[in-house]
Structure formats: structure tokens, C-alpha cells
Structure 1
Amino acid sequence: MLRKALLTGCTGFVGHPLLARLSNCDFSVVACSRVAMPALPASATNVLVSGIDGLTDWQVALAGVEVVIHSAARVHVMNDQSSDPLAEFRKVNVEGTLNLARQAAEAGVRRFIFISSIKVNGEGTPLGSPYRADAQPQPADPYGVSKMEAEQGLRALAAETGMEVVIIRPTLVYGPGVKANFLSMMRWLHKGVPLPFGAIHNQRSLVALDNLVDLIVTCIDHPAAANQTFLVSDGEDLSTTELLRRMATALGKPARLLPVPSWLLEAGASILGKKALSQRLCGSLQVDISKTRELLGWTPPLSVDAALRKTAAHFLEHRTH
């Protein structure tokens, strides 16, 4: 008999491939989404949820479920116009998460896996001083604060109910279908546009989609994962310059990178009001995954170059311009 898992965010960038992986791992998946999913694995059942907040009723979806994987969230909102962004993030990411977790505990769910964010740790690290899983959180924006508060509430709930909680904080996730800045980077490289990023000596940890999914699946049953917090990356940090070069190689294009000093890029970005973007391009954000490796015996199954090739192949197949 198939074991039963509930997955939220199953139409998302992480949730969709995770749904496919779970269905191939002898799980019957309750796939929760806001809109009907037309194509589901044979072992999955779609349950419609109008929204996730402190009042959502999960009783029907949780029936017989052994493990919950909660990947749905209110994520970064560009040009957020709400008068109180933190309150909006809390409705979904804190109240919605804890409401689901409480009902899961009451339904007898054994383990609750929460996909959090490296933003709980902070926005950047000094070069060579990576974040560690058990370091003091220092979130710097409303999204990071809401994820931290959800983590705190889940730990308290685990202590109160005995339901096991696993928290995973991914770094930037990339892979087939990636959007936002990573997609823009591929577009510029594919067009052969010269880019002023040839002399950036930062270090950033990234995580391939396949590697993140593999860790999540590992955490479903691993006894050492119970009530732990894990950071996850590919295990190889890259400078922005090196990432662009290796992505260009994966795309089969030359990397036309101009050696503009990072201090000049940062100054220009500050003048243009793009300080956050310059931090991502020029600043460092490294994570130490030694706890993840040692406690779980886990190694990222996909190398950076293999993951970049897979990402590039999808981009080339589906590009529209």
C-alpha cells in the first residue's frame, strides 16, 4: 500500500518536480493547489485550496497522511504596494503554516517538512565566512522575518505535540524553468551581449533544483532529520564571473564579460537605486552544508556543471526570444 504525503505549492518551481519525484517513490500524493491541475501522476490526487492562511480547513486533505511537505509561501513581491508588507507575509507564511501544522499534528501526521529560506540567516556573508544552520538568524526583510517566525512556531509545536519537524533553508534555486534574474542572465548570454561582470571576486552558494528535491525526499524518512534545520547548496560556491562563464559554456556561447571593477558597479547601482541587485551580483552569500552532509550522509547528486547544462537545455528548447 502506498504511503500518503500532502504537498503544498505543487504547481510551483520546486513543488512541481517534487510531485513527480514523490510519485516515483511509492507515495500517494495529495497535491494541494489553488487551481485544478490537468496532468497529474496516477498516484496523485488534486485537492483545491482557495488560499493558505490561519483559517484554511485542511481536514479532508490530511486524512491518512503520513508526511506533509509545505513548499507554498508568499514570496518576494516586486513593488509591494501594501501598507504593511510584514503583516501580509505573516498571513500566509506564519499563520497559514502554523495552522496547517497544528491540523497535521491533530491528524496524526508523523513528520512536517517546511521549505524555508536562507533569508532567515540574512542577506549576505563576509567572503569565507558562510552561514551555518544553527547560527543566530538575522533576517533583513519582511519575507525573511516571516519565515523565521514560522520556523520558531513549528519548533514550539513539535515540542508540544511530538510531531517531527524538518526545516530546510535553500539558497538561490536554479534549474529547468527558472525565472527572474537567472533567466535574464541566460537571455543576455545567449544573445552575446557584452556584460560588465568580468572582474567580480565574490562567492555565492546556489542549489540546483534536482539537488533540493533530492534532499527533501531524503528528509522524509531519515531518522536523523527529525527536528533539525538544514542548509542546502550544490557544495561548490561560484563567483558571479565564474557562474556567467560556466553558464555560457552550457549554452554553447562565448562569455563576453568586461572586467569592470565591482566597486564601480556597486556605485553605479546605488546611484540608480539598484543596491539590492548589486548586492546579489557583487556580494557574497555562502552556506556551510557540512551538517547536512554529516547528519544525513547526503551528497548533492548533481554537479554544478551538469545542473547548468540541464538548465540551459530547457532554456534553449523553450525560449521565445
Structure 2
Amino acid sequence: MNASVLLTGATGFVGKAVLDALRERGDNVVAALRGSSTAIEAPGGMVKRIESLDEHTQWQDCLHGVETVIHSAARVHVMNDTEADPLAAFRRVNVEGTLNLARQAEAAGAKRFIFISSIKVNGEGTVEGVPYHADDVPAPVDPYGISKMEAEQGLRALAARSSLEVVIIRPVLVYGPGVKANFLAMMRWLDKGVPLPFGAIDNRRSLVALGNLVDLIITCMDHPAAANQTFLVSDGDDLSTTGLLRKMAEALGKPARLLPVPSVLLQFAASAVGKRSLSQRLCGSLQVDIGKTRSLLGWTPPISVADALKQVAQSYRG
């Protein structure tokens, strides 16, 4: 189905993959990116460069005829934030910038606004076997999660008083070709055969392959049941950290040299060196229930974990 789409964050990890999918569909795309970003081509559309994303950004020149806005641009979670007031910095981009764009989109006649939020709106972790649900009461902890929650609240209020349909998607950790940060670091360690002390971690974590997230975003562009709903998204196949590392090693064609160090010792050691948040991601559980996403949209993740990890490994190999 051809549509006119405004895509923000078009050069980001998720945005670039969405742009490729829109190109394959033959949609007319207005691709918005930061002024210093790499040049890209928007099929049948235009490229808009913005210097900042806040309440002052002017979008009118690229909203004419746009039916759907996919808003993936954001001030992302950072480990060592140097801002004097991190929450204010997140709010300026993620709340004020988002609502400014949504109001201008509604005024220009856009029909649907798809907001890429974060599972951090739900919280930082779950008890094993008790996953987050899309309609749980939000419990964000850090400034990033708080800003995403406040953006969601503002978008719902706008939808309630206007004709703009809002779709909110909260991904868990996204991995795929080009992934960076801890996921890439673990892949490098496995590829080099470095013994890792992660052979006895019996947690459960939900992940989402980039291709699965993009497929859901595209589904939400057209599906009538997506209007004014919030969806969680994952691969539907929760893994322990140990299980994930074994699957990653298999995708690389390497043995997984995992030492069975008890999780409690890993967490104690991480806390002792100021890496408590890292130990939570490695040893703690974070599960989501995508039952609502499946039932309302008839959606099933099209890519298996094994196939997604093969794609990551092939990209890593170059």
C-alpha cells in the first residue's frame, strides 16, 4: 500500500531499517535527520534536515500530504550523562519535541502518528514468569523512561481531542545488523574465544530482532485496530543471558566458552566496582507479554531468534 510518510530519525539504527522497508513498499517518504547526519535518499519524497528536535522545530514544509508520521528520533538513554539536569534535557527532546511534531502533524491533516517509545516506561525489570503487559501502570525509573512516559501521555491527550490516531510501540532491547554497545561487545568476546563468566545465569529476558520491530511498525501504519493503542514487541522467545550467548556463539560458528560463575557472585562483583546497572541487565529478568499485539493485530514475529542472530553474525563478519 503506497502512502505518504514522514519518518524521523531516518539515519538511526531503527530508522534506517524502517526507511529501507518503506522504500521496498514504494511509499513516498519525507526522511527527517539531524543536520550533520550522513546523506540519504528518500524514495519518492524529500529529506528534511533539522538542527534540533524541540518545541521550536518547524515541520510545516514537509507535512503537506503526509498521512502517517513514524517518530523514531529521540534523545536516547546514555550511560554517563553530562547534562546538569538530565530529565530536563530528555523532556526538551522526547516530550516537547514529540508533542510539537504531533500537533503540527494533526494540524496538517495527518491521520496516524506512530511513536517509538521504550519498555523503560514499564520499568527496569520483572520477576521471572511475571512479564510486563502493554496496559500495566507505568513505572519508569530513569529520566529517559520518564520522558517517554510523559510523551505517551501527551500524545494520548492529543488523540482524545482530535482526529489524529496515535500508536505507541514499546520495544525491548533491539538487536540486528549494525547493533552496537553491549551486544556487539559480547559478540566480539565470543568471536575471540574469550572465556566469559556467564555460564550459570538463569534469568529470562525478552529481546526483539530489528526485522521484527520494523515489521510491526509497518503493520501499525495500516491496521485499523492499531489506532490509539499501546503495544509491546519482542521475538516471543525469551532467553537467559547464558542461552543467548550460546545462540550467538552458534551463529558465529564458535564454541561458547562460558564459565559457570553463580549470578550472586557476578552481581556482588559488579556492585563493588560500580557496575550494578550492568549486572541487572546481565543477571536480571525483563520479560514482556506480546499477547495483545498478537491478538489485536494478528501479528506474529516473522523472524526467529536463530535467523536474526545469523543476520547479526553475517553483518559482524562484514
TM-score by length of 1: 0.97
Amino acid in the other structure paired with 1:108: G
Query: Does the Cα contact within 8 Å between 1:171 and 1:233 map onto a contact in 2?
Result: yes
2:215 maps to what in 1? 214
Superposed counterparts of 1:47-86, under 5 Å: 47-86=48-87
SS in 1 for 2:25: coil
Q: Which residue of 2 aligns with 1:17?
A: 17
Give distance in 2, aligned partners of 1:56 and 1:41: 20
Instruction: Give the conservation status (yes or no) of the 8 Å contact 1:23–1:44.
Output: no
Query: 3-state DSSP class of the match of 1:43?
Result: coil
Q: Take 1:58 and 1:130, find their aligned partners in 2: how far apart are those partners? A: 38
The one-letter amino acid of 1:246's match is K
**Alpha-carbon distance in 2 for matches of 1:182, 1:192:** 16
Alpha-carbon distance, 1:11 to partner: 0.2
Structure 2 distance, partners of 1:244, 1:41, is: 37
Q: Which runs of 4+ in 1 moved over 6 A?
A: none
Identify if the C-alpha distance between structure 1 residues 42 and 29 changes in structure 2 by more than 3 Å, giving closer, same or farther: closer
Q: Is the 8 A contact 1:199 1:260 kept in 2?
A: yes
Q: Is the 8 A contact 2:40 2:47 kept in 1?
A: no
Mapped to 2, the partners of 1:166 and 1:136 lie a distance apart of 17
Aligned CA distance change for structure 1 residues 62 and 37 (closer, same or farther; 3 Å): farther
Question: The residue matched to 2:135 in structure 1 has which SS?
Answer: coil
Residue of structure 2 equivalent to 1:117? 118
Q: What TM-score, normalized by structure 2, do the two folds share?
A: 0.98
Q: Is the 1:20–1:41 Cα contact (8 Å) retained in structure 2?
A: no
User: Secondary structure at the residue paired with 1:80?
Assistant: coil
Within 5 Å, give how 1:1-321 maps onto structure 2.
Answer: 2-35=2-35, 37-317=38-318
RMSD: 1.1
> Cα distance, 1:41 vs. partner?
4.8
The amino acid of 2:132's aligned partner reads: Y
TM-superposed CA distance for 1:42, in Å, is: 3.6
Q: Tell me the distance in 2 between the aligned counterparts of 1:3 and 1:85.
A: 37
Aligned residues: 317
**Which string of whole-angstrom CA distances, capped at 9 and with x for unpartnered residues, describes residues 238-286 of structure 1?**
0000000000000010000000000000000000100000000000000
Q: SS state of the match for residue 24, structure 1?
A: helix
Alpha-carbon spacing, 1:44–1:255, altered in 2? closer, same or farther (3 Å): farther
- Structure 1 residue runs of 5 or longer lacking an equivalent are none
